Amino acid sequence: MSQELSSVWKEALQIVRQQINTPTFETWFKNTSPIAMENGSMSVSVPSVFAKEWLEGRHQQMLEAALMEVVGKKVSVSLVVGDASEERGEDPPPNTPSSPRKAPTFMNDKYTFDSFVIGGSNRFAHAAALAVAENPSNAYNPLFIYGGVGLGKTHLLQAIANYTLTNHSNLKVKYVSTEKFTNDFINSIRDRQKISGFQNSYRNTDVLLIDDIQFLEKKEATQEEFFHTFNTLHEAGKQIIISSDRPPRNISTLEDRLRSRFEWGLITDIQPPDLETRIAILKKRVSHDALSVTDDVLEYIASRVQSNIRELEGALIRVVAFSSLTNTPIDLEATKSVLKDIFPENNRPIGFQKIQAEVCRFFNVSRVDIVGNRRSQSIVFPRQVAMYLTRELTDLSLPKIGECFGGRDHTTVMHANSKIEKLLTSKRDIYNTVQEITNKIKQS
C-alpha cells in the first residue's frame, strides 16, 4: 500500500468519524484498509462478509462523499472481503506451498479445524475428526458423529473435507447431504443410463462425507444403494465419515445391516456447549468479524442462549444489528432489551406451524401461498421471513424446514436465511418487522 493511498484513506475515515458515534466507527470502520485506487475507484479490504454487507447497505455513500472531499473528485468504493495484501497480488512468503485443489462450491471454506471452538462438549469428536483428516482410512473407519441441531457436526465434516483437500491433494473428496445423495439416486433411476454415472461419482472417491444420515429413514431403495456404496468404499480402504442427529441404534426403520456397518468404526457425539465454551464461541465470532463487543455483553448472551451454536450466533447478530441501525453502543442494557422477547426466561418449544401462522397473519397472506410455488414478491418475502424465523426459533434442520415449506430444497432455505440476515443489518424497517413478528410468536 502506498503512503499516499494510506493517507487518503485515513483522512476520509477522520471525516466519517465526525458523522457517527464511536462504537459504530470502532465496530465497522477501524479494521478497513485501502487496497488500490485507479480509474476513479478505490478497492477497500474489510474483515468479513458481514462487515461488507453492512457497510454497503448503510455507509457506502458516506465513504464516497468523504473520499470526494479528500481528493476533490468523485471516487467509487468497492469493498472486498479478505487480507489486503492478497487482493493487491503481493508475492507470498518464500517456500509457500502450491495451492491445493479448490474445495467444491457447496462447501464452506470457513469451516476449518482452526475456526472450531473446542470445549468439554466436543473435545473427543474434534480429536477423532482431526485424526481422520490427518490419516484417512488409517484411524477410524467409518467415523460416525452425532448430536443435536446446530452443535457443529457439519462444521467438523467440512473441516475434515477442507483439511483433506489442502493436505492430501491427491485424494478425491466428496461431501454431500443425505438429501443430495437421495436426489442424485432418484434422478439416476429415472434414466437407467445415468445409474452407472451416479455410482461412479460416489464409489470412485477416497473420502466420502455424508451429512444427516438420519434422513435415510423409510427410504428403502436409497438405503439399498447406500449399503452397496458403503461396502464398495470400505472394502477398497476408502474413508467414510457420517453425521446424524442420533446414534445408529436410535435411527428407526434403518436396516440392521446398515446400522451394524455404522458401528464398525468409531461413534462419537457432540453435546450442547457449556457456558465457557459458549463465551469462547462468541469471542471467536467477534474476533473474526472484527466487532467491538464487551465481555459482559458476550457473557450475558452466552448465559441466555444455551441450546445450540446457531441460536447463540444469531443472538449476537441481532444485538450488533440493533446497535448499528440505531447508532447506539452495544452495552448490557441494550443487549437485555433486544433479547428479552427473543429468548424469554420461560422458554417453550416453538413449532413451525406457529411461525407460519404468525407470518401469514402479519403479511395478510395464506399458508397455501407460503408453502406453495407462487413467485410474486408479495409472497416470496413473507416466505423467506418465515423460513428465517423457523431456522432461528426451532431446532429443525435445513432439510426439515424445506419439507415444512412445500418440500423445498435445503439450499432454498439457506438462501432465504442469508438474505434476511443481510437485510436485518441494512434495512431498519425490515429489522423492526422481524422483531415484531418474533415478539408475537414468543408471546402467543
- pLDDT tens, residue by residue, 377-396: 889 999 999 999 998 888 78
Query: Collapsing DSSP states into helix, strand and coil, what is residue 239?
Result: strand
Query: Collapsing DSSP states into helix, strand and coil, what is residue 341?
Result: coil
Rounded Cα–Cα distance for residues 53 and 163 (Å): 28
Class of residue 221 by CB neighbours under 10 A (exposed 0-12, middle 13-18, buried 19+): exposed
User: pLDDT value at position 88?
Assistant: 39
Q: What are the sequence ranges of the domains in the chain?
A: 3-87, 123-270, 275-339, 352-443
Pairing of strands 41-46, 76-81: parallel
User: pLDDT value at position 289?
Assistant: 79
Contact assessment for residue 230 and residue 132, using Cβ atoms and an 8 Å cutoff = no
The closest alpha carbon to 443, from 301, 346, 323, belongs to 346
pLDDT over 90 at 426, yes or no:
no
The closest alpha carbon to 408, from 381, 372, 375, belongs to 372
**Residue 444 corresponds to which cell in the numbers above?**
402467543
Class of residue 443 by CB neighbours under 10 A (exposed 0-12, middle 13-18, buried 19+): exposed
Class of residue 155 by CB neighbours under 10 A (exposed 0-12, middle 13-18, buried 19+): buried
Rounded Cα–Cα distance for residues 193 and 329 (Å): 61
* CATH number for the domain whose boundaries are 275-339: 1.10.8.60
Contact assessment for residue 267 and residue 141, using Cβ atoms and an 8 Å cutoff = no
CA atoms in the 13 A half-sphere facing the CB of 273: 28
Q: What is the mean pLDDT of the chain?
A: 84
User: pLDDT value at position 274?
Assistant: 84
Q: Which of 7-21, 234-248, 313-327, 428-442 has the highest mean pLDDT?
A: 234-248
Tell me the pTM.
0.59
* CATH number for the domain whose boundaries are 352-443: 1.10.1750.10
**Residue 107 corresponds to which cell in the numbers above?**
462447501
Rounded Cα–Cα distance for residues 261 and 238 (Å): 14
Cβ within 8 Å of residue 317, ≥6 positions away? 50, 421, 424, 425
Please report, rounded to a whole number, the percentage of residues in the chain having pLDDT higher than 90. Answer: 29
User: pLDDT value at position 85?
Assistant: 41
User: pLDDT value at position 396?
Assistant: 82
CATH architecture of the domain with range 3-87? 2-Layer Sandwich (3.30)
Rounded Cα–Cα distance for residues 36 and 202 (Å): 44
Predicted confidence (pLDDT) per residue in 25-35, tens digit:
777 787 888 88
Please tell us whether the domain made up of 123-270 is placed in CATH 3.40.50.300.
yes
Rounded to the nearest 5 degrees, what angle is found at the Cα of 211, between the Cα atoms of 208 and 213? 100
Query: Collapsing DSSP states into helix, strand and coil, what is residue 84?
Result: helix
Average pLDDT (281-298) is 87
> In angstroms, how far is CA 338 from the centroid of its own chain?
22
